[in-house]
């Protein structure tokens, strides 16, 4: 058994990268439990494994005390001194209690511990490997699908893709090869759990990096992505080189680059717009393909604005079921209210008229108290004069 065990430990270290010391430590702890379980012992025991000889020894550990109250855990000072004159109160003495048939139990326990450590090591290795792929694009094979997930084989691990991460216009069949975006890697109790997506905005960014070298090397930068997966997406780009057109670079010659991405996502439409440091220009670009006449920002909310478009382009700016406006708002992080030119004229005319009425009321209210004050003062003065004349008249009469 000793040679087999030593050989197994050496193989583990070479093939799985599991250090012998780690397995031996786990083995010793397991053998303590096995000894107590199989021999009905409650005393404090230790198991020592000799890595050179492959031998195991069980020791009962007792504490030196003045008076023994538990002979399984304690040894009297007098008895301890007979063993060795150097023992003192509180010292620990080890007595070998290795059973004759302990080898069989040890071999069985060693096998269980080694298998457990192998499983744990494999899980740790898989977790370490796939945690590096978090927020990255990987290719896998569809294995099966149930009501909860689509299960995708990534090689050493089976990833899961939930309903919200599946494109609504896609059908996943066993053995299909698909690209997925790794959103999260968890080290769960049953092993590493990898979650992937086809709808995450990050997937779109990685696809552009694969197809557009200038985006991959940072010459052209993706600033923002707004996506309604499977239907339409808007991507804002800017160039870090003034000689390079960011939109044209992302679209590619005759639209080849963006078309490859559209095909990968089974027809998801792409709007590539240029980011601009001027918010008004950026918002106008985000509503592409609609033409924008003006962008008016809200004085009460710095992240809100009204966009004015030609009458005939109102429906284009808003989009089907409001999609174009909704994606533009997500892309720019602005609350966008779209009005036609006619609506805007009426709206602002009514707003100016209402403001003028409010001002007129305020002026009227501010003038009225002042007149009343003057009238009151004059009346008071007149009353004072009348009273004075009356007093004088009375005085004259009295006199």
378 within a domain of the structure (yes/no) = no
250 in a domain, yes or no? yes
Structure tokens at 56: 């195991």
Which residues, at least 6 apart from 188, have a Cβ–Cβ distance to it below 8 Å? none
Q: Does 338 lie in the same domain as 233?
A: yes
Residue 358's pLDDT is what? 63
Of the candidates 108, 129, 150, which is a domain's last residue? 129
**176 is in which domain, residue-wise?**
134-197
Q: Point out the domain boundary residue: 110, 129, 148.
A: 129
| 216 and 302 co-located in one domain | yes
Cβ atoms of 93 and 61 closer than 8 Å? yes
Give CA–CA dist 31/58, Å, rounded: 9
The per-residue pLDDT for 188 is: 80
Give the separation between CA 126 and CA 190, rounded to whole angstroms: 12
Same domain, 240 and 228: yes
Does residue 241 sit in the same domain as residue 260?
yes
Nearest to 52 by CA among 32, 24, 29: 24
Any idea what the CATH number is for the domain that residue 307 is in?
3.30.300.20
Query: Quick one: angle between helices 20-39 and 2-11, nearest 10?
Result: 140
Taking the C-alpha atoms of residue 299 and residue 244, their distance in angstroms, rounded to an integer, is 36
Q: Are residues 116 and 206 in the same domain?
A: no
How many whole angstroms separate alpha carbon 272 and alpha carbon 248?
A: 9
Nearest of 229, 227, 231, 209 to residue 219 by alpha carbon: 209
Q: Round to whole Å and give the CA distance between 252 and 183.
A: 28
pTM of the model: 0.67
As beta bridge partners, residue 192 has 187
The CATH number of residue 144's host domain is 2.40.50.140
Evaluate whether 225 touches 205 at the Cβ level (below 8 Å): yes
Query: Quick check: is 35 in a domain?
Result: yes
Both 339 and 205 in one domain: the answer is yes
Cβ neighbours of residue 24 under 8 Å, at least 6 residues apart? 9, 49, 51
> What's residue 262's pLDDT?
96
The full DSSP string for 203-270 is HHHHHHHHH-HHHHTTSEEEEEEEEETTTEEEEEEEESSTTS-HHHHHH-GGGHHHHHHHHHTTS-EE
**Are 148 and 123 within one domain?**
no
One domain for residues 17 and 113? yes
How many other CB atoms are found less than 10 A from the CB of residue 27? 23
How many structural domains comprise the chain?
Answer: 3
Considering the domain architecture, whether residues 213 and 336 belong to the same structural domain is answered as yes
The verdict on residue 356 lying in a domain is no
Q: How many CA atoms lie within 13 A of 110 on its CB side?
A: 23
pLDDT tens, residue order, the chain (399 aa) = 456 666 777 777 777 677 777 777 887 788 888 777 776 666 688 888 777 777 778 888 889 998 888 877 888 998 889 888 999 999 999 888 777 777 777 777 777 877 787 788 778 888 888 889 999 999 999 999 998 999 999 988 899 999 999 999 899 999 999 999 999 999 887 778 999 999 999 999 999 999 999 999 999 999 999 999 999 999 999 999 999 999 999 999 999 999 999 999 999 999 999 999 999 999 999 999 999 999 999 999 999 999 999 999 999 999 999 999 999 999 999 999 999 999 989 887 877 776 666 666 666 666 555 444 444 444 444 444 444 444 443 433 333
Q: What is the pLDDT of residue 375?
A: 41
DSSP 329-373: HHHHT-EEEEEEHHHHHHHHHHHHHHHHHHHHHHHHHHHHHHHHH
Inside any domain, residue 335: yes
Q: Which of 129, 146, 179 is the last residue of a domain?
A: 129
CA distance linking residue 336 with residue 304, whole number of Å:
6
CB atoms within 10 A of CB 154: 19
Residues 114 and 27 in one domain: yes
pLDDT at 347: 83
Whether the upstream peptide bond of residue 306 has omega within 30° of 0, thus cis, is: no
Same domain? For 120 and 167 the reply is no
**Do 175 and 217 lie in a common domain?**
no
- Judging by DSSP bridges, how do beta strands 150-153 and 137-145 pair with one another? antiparallel
364/356 Cα distance (integer angstroms): 12
CATH number at residue 99: 3.30.1480.10
């Amino acid at each position: 058994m000793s040679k087999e065990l030593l050989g197994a430990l050496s193989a583990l270290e070479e093939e799985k990268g599991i250090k012998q010391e780690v397995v031996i430590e786990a083995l010793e702890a397991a053998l303590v439990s096995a000894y107590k379980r199989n021999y009905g012992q409650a005393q404090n025991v230790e198991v020592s494994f000799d890595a050179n000889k492959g031998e195991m020894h069980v020791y009962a550990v007792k504490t030196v005390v003045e008076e023994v109250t538990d002979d399984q855990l304690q040894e009297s000072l007098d008895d301890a001194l007979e063993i060795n004159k150097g023992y003192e109160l509180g010292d620990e003495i080890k007595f070998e209690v290795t059973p004759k048939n302990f080898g069989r139990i040890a071999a069985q326990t060693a096998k269980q511990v080694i298998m457990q450590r192998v499983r744990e090591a494999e899980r740790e290795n898989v977790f370490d490997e796939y945690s590096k792929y978090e927020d990255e694009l990987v290719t896998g094979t569809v294995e099966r699908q149930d009501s909860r997930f689509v299960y995708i084989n990534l090689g050493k691990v089976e990833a899961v893709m939930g309903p919200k991460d599946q494109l609504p216009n896609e059908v996943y069949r066993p053995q299909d090869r698909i690209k997925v975006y790794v959103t999260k890697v968890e080290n769960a109790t049953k092993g590493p759990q990898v979650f992937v997506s086809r709808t995450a905005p990050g997937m779109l960014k990685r696809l552009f990096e694969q197809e557009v070298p200038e985006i991959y090397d940072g010459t052209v930068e993706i600033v923002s992505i707004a996506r309604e997966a499977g239907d339409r997406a808007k991507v804002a780009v800017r160039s870090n080189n003034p000689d390079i057109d960011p939109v044209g670079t992302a679209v590619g010659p005759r639209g080849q680059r963006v078309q490859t991405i559209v095909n990968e996502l089974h027809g998801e439409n792409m709007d590539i717009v240029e980011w601009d440091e001027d918010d008004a220009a950026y918002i106008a670009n985000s509503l592409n393909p609609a033409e924008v006449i003006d962008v008016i920002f809200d004085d009460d909310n710095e992240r809100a604005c009204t966009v004015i478009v030609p009458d005939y382009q109102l429906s284009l700016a808003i989009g089907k079921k409001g999609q174009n406006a909704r994606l533009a708002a997500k892309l720019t992080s602005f609350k966008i209210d779209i009005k036609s030119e006619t609506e805007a004229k009426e709206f602002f005319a009514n707003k100016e008229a209402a403001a003028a009425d409010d001002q007129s009321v305020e002026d009227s209210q501010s003038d009225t108290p002042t007149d009343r004050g003057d009238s009151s003062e004059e009346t008071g003065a007149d009353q004072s004069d009348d009273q004075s004349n009356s007093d004088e008249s009375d005085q004259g009469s009295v006199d």
